[in-house]
Structure formats: C-alpha cells, structure tokens
C-alpha cells in the first residue's frame, strides 16, 4: 500500500485505528475452544467486527510464534483474511546483520518464502543501517522503526543523551529518527512512538514532519488519544494508533465480537472528531 493510498483510507473511513491482533490462546472466549483453529476463528470474528472502523491490522508475531508451527498457520490464515483495503503490520521487531535481515524481510514480504505478504514490519534499530536496508529493498513495503517505545524500559537507552561536537545534545531516539531518514523517505519509513510518551511527540513531529507514526499504548497502557492526535496528526493523517487488548478482550463471552466492534467504533468516532479539526 502506498503513502497516498493509506492516507486516502484514513479520510474515507475517518479513522486511523490499527487493531493489534495480540491473540492469546489463553484468553479466548471458551466457546471458541472447540473450533479447529480457535486463534483464527477469534481473529476472523474480530476482523469482521472491526473492519468498518480500522485502517490497519497488526498481528503481534510473538503470540503466533509461541504456538509453534500451528501458530504460523493461524497467522497465515489471519493475514489472508484481512481486507485488501487495510494496511497490514507484522509486529516482529526484527533486526540482524544484512544477510539475516534479508531473510527476515523475505519471511514477511515475499509470499513465495513463508507464504506471508505483509505491507510492513516493525524493526529494531540497534544494529544500524545494514540491519534495516534489506527490508527497504522491497518496493512498496514499509519499515516501521522503533524510536521511542511505550514501556518503562524506554528510559534505559532510548532517552540516553548523546554528546555532540555541536552545542545541541539529543537523546538516542532523536538520533535514530534523524539517521533513519537518510535510509528511506516517508513513503517507506514509519516510526514507533509510544502513546505514553506524548511529552516528546511534538519534537518528534518536528523531526519527522511527514512520516507516519505507529502509536501503541492507547488503552491498556494508558496513553491519551486526544494528546496523541493533537500532537501527531498531519494533513495526510500521519498516524496509526494501535489498540489491542481493549478491543480484543472487551468481553470474554459469546458477545466478544460485538463488544470489540463497540470499542473500535468508539475509538473511530473520537478519531473522526480529531480529523475534522485538522482540515
């Protein structure tokens, strides 16, 4: 999916909601456990219930990997079921030396390899340019680079201040954002910025005025959709705000899909309001 196609989807649906498919087999509604593939049955119901309100779906690969080979089969079926109009994100946080990153890129981008054909993958920046560029070699595919994450551990390294020969000092995450923009343009590069880090969002938007930001941490992790939207929205949309647990586990009963739909719609309506303000 291209930058302008993603932007168009956002304004058509009046939503920048990304539904995180962090599907934990231990949390499924009991009535699904008799299904042949309970994880896929759950995801299918969630996608059916939320597709009117979401522009993106983000399976968290750990949840599938932890099931072994059958988890990868559930992931494959889930990806194939997501409507083509929705942007797909493999939340994998991969990154390795060049020849290995090339294989991770094949895994998620080349359907002749593992069968998967995601639009994008999340990548960890620690190993630098040659750990990221193999993903960018796939035209039309995206890297979503970790910049400032939503967890407590983000302070350990991401906020470390770098010394510089110039007067300006900056934290590591700003260096990551600046450096990575030399590797790709906003048509292939997004950044992960946690919703719990809104105090930094204004500065990040200055550093990356046109890049989409993938923002987790609204909902269960406590980030504010109003703050994220005020500081992060651009004329092209420029945001994908992820919600996972608050949608997936809105109910544990037979009505789980209806309650998931309600929560997705609630977020979409709030987003529609913020989108009106930028136009």
Measure the N-to-C terminal CA separation of the chain; round to a whole number of Å: 23
Tell me the site size for a second copy, rule CB under 8 A.
62
Q: Is 137 in the site for a second copy (CB under 8 A)?
A: no
Polymer length of the chain: 279
For the record, the structure tokens of 3 come out as 């930058």
Please report where in the chains the tokens 């909601």 appear, as a residue.
Answer: 17
Q: Which is nearer to a second copy, 76 or 246 (CB)?
A: 76
- Candidates 29, 59, 125, 219: give the one binding a second copy (CB under 8 A): 125
Which of 15, 43, 88, 107 is the binder for a second copy (CB under 8 A)? 107
Closest distance of CB 24 from a second copy, Å: 8
Q: Which of 32, 45, 124, 272 binds a second copy (CB under 8 A)?
A: 124
Among residues 13, 27, 58, 93, the one annotated as catalytic is 93
Q: Per-residue contact track with a second copy, 18 to 57, x per CB under 8 A?
A: ----x-x---------------------------------
**β-bridge mates for residue 86, sequence order:** none
Task: Decide if 27 is catalytic.
Answer: no
Minimal distance in Å, beta carbon 39 to a second copy?
A: 13
CA distances from 227 to 138, 158, 222 (A): 34, 21, 12
Token duo for residue 59: 């399976």
CB of 127 to a second copy, least distance (A): 5
CB 97 within 8 A of CB 124: no
CB 162 within 8 A of CB 116: no
Token look-up 């939207």 returns 229
User: Would you count residue 278 as binding a second copy (CB under 8 A)?
Assistant: no
Q: How far is CA 2 from CA 81, 115, 120, 140, 208, in A?
A: 20, 21, 11, 6, 18
Active centre residues (catalytic): 93
Residues engaged in binding a second copy (CB under 8 A): 22, 24, 60, 62-63, 65-73, 76, 91, 93-98, 100-101, 103-104, 106-107, 113-116, 124-132, 146, 149-158, 160-164, 169, 172, 175-176, 179
């Amino acid at each position: 999916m291209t930058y302008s196609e993603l932007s168009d989807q956002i304004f058509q649906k009046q939503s920048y909601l990304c539904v995180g498919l962090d599907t934990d087999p231990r949390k499924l509604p009991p009535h699904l456990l008799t299904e042949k593939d309970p994880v896929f049955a759950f995801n299918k119901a969630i996608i059916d219930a939320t597709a009117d309100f979401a522009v993106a779906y983000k399976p968290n690969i750990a949840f599938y990997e932890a099931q072994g080979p059958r988890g990868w089969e559930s992931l494959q079926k889930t990806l194939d079921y997501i409507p083509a109009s929705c942007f797909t994100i493999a939340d994998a946080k991969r990154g390795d030396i060049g020849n290995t990153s090339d294989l991770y890129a094949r895994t998620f981008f080349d359907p002749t390899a593992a069968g998967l054909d995601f639009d994008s993958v999340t990548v960890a920046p620690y190993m630098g340019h040659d750990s990221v560029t193999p993903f960018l070699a796939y035209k039309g595919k995206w890297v979503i680079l970790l910049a400032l994450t939503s967890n407590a551990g983000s302070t350990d390294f991401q906020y470390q201040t770098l010394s510089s020969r110039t007067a300006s000092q900056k934290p590591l995450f700003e260096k990551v954002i600046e450096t990575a923009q030399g590797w790709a343009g906003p048509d292939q590069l997004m950044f992960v910025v946690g919703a719990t880090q809104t105090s930094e969002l204004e500065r990040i938007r200055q550093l990356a005025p046109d890049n989409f930001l993938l923002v987790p941490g609204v909902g269960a992790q406590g980030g504010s959709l109003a703050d994220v939207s005020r500081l992060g929205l651009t004329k092209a949309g420029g945001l994908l705000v992820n919600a996972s647990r608050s949608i997936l586990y809105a109910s544990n009963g037979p009505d789980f899909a209806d309650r998931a739909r309600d929560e997705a719609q609630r977020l979409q309506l709030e987003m529609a309001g913020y989108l009106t303000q930028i136009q």
